[in-house]
């Protein structure tokens, strides 16, 4: 299982029940395929970095959006499930953009075997080197 973060940009005038239905559909797709949804965070309505364009204009004629709602979904699933979730999200007309990121967790750092990439392993190796250095200095002092 891979830990993913899915960042959604949703139209700012989306009704609460439509957002709920979308999150339920995403969660059901993940759980149905053996994954786990760790959390869903609503970051609120914010200024977009640039104007977002919807595929089609809505019933009021709005197609361009300066403000959008950002929502993050954190999930553990396999890559095939992520693609299924992507299809579910793409089918919803309220979603303007979606970005799937492979999120990093503390566990990823702890499982890394290379000392260059693992800060915990690097710290232990530095402590061992310092202890070894102290023992060598004590031996040199005891000789004299």
Residue 140: CB atoms within 10 Å: 9
Provide the angle, in degrees to the nearest 10, between the axes of the packed helices 16-32 and 79-91.
Answer: 160
pTM of the shown model: 0.72
Tell me whether strands 64-77 and 95-102 are parallel, antiparallel or unpaired.
unpaired
Strands (DSSP E) contained in 2-136 are: 2-11, 36-53, 64-77, 95-102
Confidence category of residue 28, pLDDT binned at 50, 70, 90: very high
- Segment 44-103, tens digit of pLDDT: 999 999 999 998 888 888 999 999 999 999 999 999 999 999 999 999 999 999 999 988
Could you tell me which residues come within 8 angstroms of residue 41 by beta carbon, excluding any fewer than 6 positions away?
71, 72, 74
């Amino acid at each position: 299982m891979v830990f993913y973060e899915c960042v959604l940009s949703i139209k700012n005038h989306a009704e609460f029940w439509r957002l709920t239905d979308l999150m339920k559909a995403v969660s059901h797709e993940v759980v149905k395929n053996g994954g786990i949804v760790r959390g869903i965070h609503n970051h609120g309505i914010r200024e977009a970095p640039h104007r977002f364009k919807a595929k089609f204009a809505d019933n009021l004629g709005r197609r361009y959006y300066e403000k959008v709602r950002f929502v993050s979904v954190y999930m553990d699933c396999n890559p095939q499930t992520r693609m299924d979730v992507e299809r579910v999200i793409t089918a919803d007309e309220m979603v303007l953009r979606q970005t799937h990121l492979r999120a990093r967790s503390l566990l990823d750092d702890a499982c890394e075997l290379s000392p260059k990439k693992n800060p915990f392993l690097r710290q232990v190796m530095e402590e061992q080197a310092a202890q070894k250095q102290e023992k060598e200095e004590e031996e040199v002092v005891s000789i004299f």
